[in-house]
Structure 1
Amino acid sequence: MTDVTVTFPQLNQPAPEFTAKTTHGVKSLSDYKGKWVVLFSHPADFTPVCTTEFSAFATRQEQFAELNCELLGLSIDSVHSHIAWARNIEQNFGVKIGFPIIADLSMEVAHKYGMIQPGASDTSAVRATFIIDPEGVLRAMVYYPMSNGRSVDEFLRVLKALQTSDTHKVATPENWQPGDDVIVPPPATMDEAAAREGQGYQYTDWYFSKKSL
């Protein structure tokens, strides 16, 4: 058996650049400079799990837009297949797909983003989602099995958490939601650790303190 090397993008590094045909014309990642991007792949058009995911992303597109975030789908299908599938979703489910879908017949984009994974699928892109910041830096990525759909609400939550961390220089706890308390960065020196309890935070220990925004 021939070994296949899968290349994965790296967190906090520039997201791989691409230029590709989409249902909204030719698009490049650089076109989205200054905006957040959620790039997500699906195994194939006209498949049931993918249909539920694309419908969910489409119904929340405005919520992403309010966060200065654009959606960009991808599968290893043609533009004509994407158009037919999007029209089918609108006809059968009443949901209009308003974001571009990349046609990646050459699998160039899929390979750059580690979407082709032997053992999961050799001919289709696995379910992968990437959050890219306005500077083109990859900030989060999640890979899902072929059989299970993603939670679009979770990607909205992660996007809000990333934006909160960037703005306020804080971390967010498990399942953080807007309005919840945030985690203060831990001290970096012995003196700072000794002073932490008296700094007015919600103090538990020197390394764990929270505050409200």
Structure 2
Amino acid sequence: MPGVLLGDVFPNFEAETTIGKIKFHDFLGESWGILFSHPRDFTPVCTTELACAARISDQFKKRNVKMIALSIDSVADHLAWSKDIVAFNSEGDVSPLPFPIIADDKRKLAVQLGMLDPDEIDKDGLPLTARCVFVIGPDKKMKLSILYPATTGRNFDEILRAIDSLQLTALKKVATPVDWKPGQKCMVIPSLSDAEAAELFPNGVTTKELPSGKRYLRYTQL
């Protein structure tokens, strides 16, 4: 199935959306971007997901990440469904939705980007879009891809955590360990010598001693 791999330049597609026609690279500008698909409008899990995305849109904005959603429904359906999402978020003021939704009723983008879930079929026997997450950098290259089946809702806290890691490691010669959160220690990448690490990280580098004797678990506090 066609798709986009990590490091590929993301397609500069044109599409109709709830804010009009866009050209994707122009929409992103110099920002990071997140494109997340959902199987269908007026469905329960999708409603909870887009409502959550709307509630935390400021978290994406402060990270300089532009948000855009997609499903295989029309602009008219998206606009009508948006009212349900806003109603679900009745405790917060998120009207209108703070991000556009792409109309892909011909499934053209879903096929091009490898978004279809072969196990979830609509009434016409055609596959629905899966719950894809694509994070695109300012260089328009894909930095992260997560693919959930239609039956499993996403965790947006994890998506924000991953974006924090991507943005940090794009600037610093570090990696982030399991369950890392902003402010916690990072790991020095193996390609740096101890001398280079000492110069780059003035807060110091600590190394965990291991039975192998290899000094590859090196930590630093940024």
TM-score above 0.5? yes
Indicate how the Cα distance of structure 1 residues 84 and 171 shifts in structure 2: closer, same or farther if over 3 A, else same.
same
Q: Runs in 1 of length 4+ with deviation above 6 angstroms?
A: 195-199
> CA–CA distance in 1 between the matches of 2:109 and 2:87?
29
Three-state SS of the structure 2 residue aligned to 1:117 is strand
Q: Secondary structure of the residue that 1:155 maps to in structure 2?
A: helix
Which residue number corresponds to residue 145 of structure 2? 141
- 1:120 is displaced (CA, Å) by 4.3
1:18 corresponds, among 13, 17, 28, to 13
Deviation at 1:71, TM superposition (A): 0.6
User: 2:60 maps to which residue?
Assistant: 64
User: Residue 36 of structure 1 contacts residue 132 of structure 1 at CA under 8 Å; is this kept in 2?
Assistant: yes
Give the AA of the match of 1:79.
V
Partner SS state of residue 119, structure 2: coil
Distance in 1 of aligned mates of 2:189 and 2:41: 44
Which letter maps to 2:138?
A: P
Pair 1:29–1:198, CA change in 2 (3 A)? closer
- Secondary structure (helix, strand or coil) at the match of 1:80 reads helix
Does the residue aligned with 2:16 lie in a helix, a strand or coil? Answer: strand
Displacement of 1:198 after TM fit? 8.2
Superposed CA RMSD in Å reads 1.9
Q: Distance in 2 between matches of 1:169 and 1:20?
A: 37
Gaps spanning 5+ residues in structure 2: where? 209-213
The structure-2 alpha-carbon separation of the partners of 1:197 and 1:67, relative to structure 1 and needing over 3 Å to count, comes to closer
Structure 1 residue matching 2:175: 3-state secondary structure: coil
| Structure 2 equivalent of residue 182 of structure 1 | 186
Q: Which residue of the other structure, out of 158, 179, 182, is the alignment partner of 2:162?
A: 158
Alpha-carbon distance in structure 1 between the residues aligned to 2:182 and 2:34: 19
Residues 67-102 of structure 1, C-alpha deviations (whole Å, 9 max, x = no match): 100110000000000000001222343243210000
Question: Which residue number in structure 2 is paired with residue 112 of structure 1?
Answer: 112
Q: What is the aligned length?
A: 204
Task: Return the TM-score normalized by structure 1.
Answer: 0.89
Q: What is the aligned partner in structure 2 of residue 75 from structure 1? A: 71
Could you give the per-residue CA deviations for residues 117-163 of structure 1, whole angstroms, max 9, x where no partner exists? 32344431111110000110000011111111000111111111100
Rounded to whole Å, the distance in 1 between the matches of 2:111 and 2:12 is 12
Structure 1 equivalent of residue 43 of structure 2: 47
